[in-house]
């Protein structure tokens, strides 16, 4: 089950997993775009139009997926949105939007699928975060950085809670850097085209990492080599002993 599957990383992840024989449920708000991805993935693929920033919609996705396939093995929280606004100019509405899209959408997914996973003592949640959740170096993305920091902490603590009683359930964090998608253009208040930014990677590269995590079930994964060194270097420039 993949949220945000109508384009970008979500669509590429769907295609990568389809090539590996996965039965897919693709979730997003845009029916026509979802249908196009489903055609590329082939059968068995089901499309569910839903707004996963609303808990009731996420609950419906869980119910419809189990009704269609009998179980859920992997739940990928991929919905997210950026923002372009200086931190001194942020409004209540800006913060609320970042939390709804980047944190609550994932929280609803984790909470609503958890009873099903607990009933089987198995299952896998994958939360797609960002390197900006580790290193808040883009000033105009401040609220997005904060939301992804929140998601990172939520993922780690949710994992610790669940695995204390149900060790068969894994909760993974995947952290890409700049990805060549329409993410920047779709940011709140607009933004630079991510496809034109330097030092980027393709959605297909990120998708292959996600597909690999479905198999490896590692808890915390970056999509580019050297990511941990980049994080250490960032904090070293601030005078922090990493």
Rounded Cα distance, 58 and 1, in Å:
11
The mean pLDDT value for 79-97 works out to: 98
Cβ burial of 13 (10 Å; 0-12, 13-18, 19+) is: buried
Q: List Cα–Cα distances, 201 to 55, 76, 177, 239, in angstroms.
A: 32, 20, 8, 29
Task: Give the pLDDT of residue 240.
Answer: 73
Helices (H), the chain: 8-19, 31-41, 55-69, 92-99, 105-120, 142-163, 203-216, 227-237
Active-site amino acid positions: 144
**Could you give the domains of the chain?**
2-237 (3.40.50.720)
Contact at 8 Å (CB) between 18 and 11? no
Task: Give the pLDDT of residue 239.
Answer: 86
Give residue-wise pLDDT tens across range 40-76: 999 999 999 999 999 999 999 999 999 999 999 999 9
* DSSP SS3 for 182: coil
Task: Give the pLDDT of residue 214.
Answer: 98
Task: Give the pLDDT of residue 199.
Answer: 84
The mean pLDDT value for 206-215 works out to: 98
Task: Give the pLDDT of residue 174.
Answer: 98
The answer on pLDDT for 195 being more than 70 is yes
The answer on pLDDT for 242 being more than 60 is no
Q: What is the mean pLDDT of the chain?
A: 96
Rounded Cα distance, 225 and 192, in Å:
25
Confidence of residue 15 (pLDDT cuts 50, 70, 90): very high
Task: Give the pLDDT of residue 167.
Answer: 98
72: nearest Cα among 126, 12, 148: 126
Task: Give the pLDDT of residue 84.
Answer: 97
The full 3-state SS of 128-140, as one line of letters, equals: ECCHHHCCCCCHH
Please tell me whether the peptide bond between 208 and the residue prior to it is cis, using omega within 30 degrees of 0. no
20: nearest Cα among 219, 201, 213: 213
Rounded Cα distance, 214 and 235, in Å:
31
Contact at 8 Å (CB) between 128 and 174? yes
The answer on pLDDT for 241 being more than 70 is no
Give residue-wise pLDDT tens across range 127-184: 999 999 999 999 999 999 999 999 999 999 999 999 999 999 999 999 999 999 999 9
Give residue-wise pLDDT tens across range 22-41: 999 999 999 999 999 999 99
Angle CA(87)–CA(90)–CA(94) in degrees, nearest 5? 125
188: nearest Cα among 143, 130, 152: 143
């Amino acid at each position: 089950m993949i949220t945000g599957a109508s384009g970008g990383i979500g669509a590429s992840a769907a295609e990568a997993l389809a090539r590996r024989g996965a039965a897919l449920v693709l979730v997003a708000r845009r029916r026509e775009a979802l249908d196009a991805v489903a055609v590329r993935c082939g059968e068995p693929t089901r499309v569910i139009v839903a707004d996963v920033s609303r808990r009731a919609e996420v609950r419906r996705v869980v119910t419809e997926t189990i009704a269609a396939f009998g179980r859920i093995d992997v739940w990928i929280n991929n919905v997210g949105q950026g923002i372009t606004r200086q931190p001194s100019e942020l409004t209540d509405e800006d913060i609320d939007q970042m939390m709804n899209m980047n944190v609550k959408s994932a929280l609803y997914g984790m909470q609503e699928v958890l009873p099903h996973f607990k009933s089987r003592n198995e299952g896998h949640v994958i939360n797609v975060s960002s390197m900006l959740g580790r290193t808040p170096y883009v000033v105009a993305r401040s609220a997005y950085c904060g939301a992804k920091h929140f998601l990172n902490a939520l993922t780690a603590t949710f994992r610790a809670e669940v695995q204390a009683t149900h060790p068969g359930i894994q909760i993974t964090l995947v952290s890409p850097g700049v990805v060549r998608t329409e993410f920047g253009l779709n940011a709140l208040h607009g933004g630079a085209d991510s496809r034109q930014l330097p030092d980027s990677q393709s959605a297909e590269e990120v998708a292959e990492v996600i597909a690999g995590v479905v198999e490896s079930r590692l808890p915390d994964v970056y999509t580019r080599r050297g990511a941990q060194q980049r994080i250490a270097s960032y904090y070293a420039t601030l005078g922090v002993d990493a």
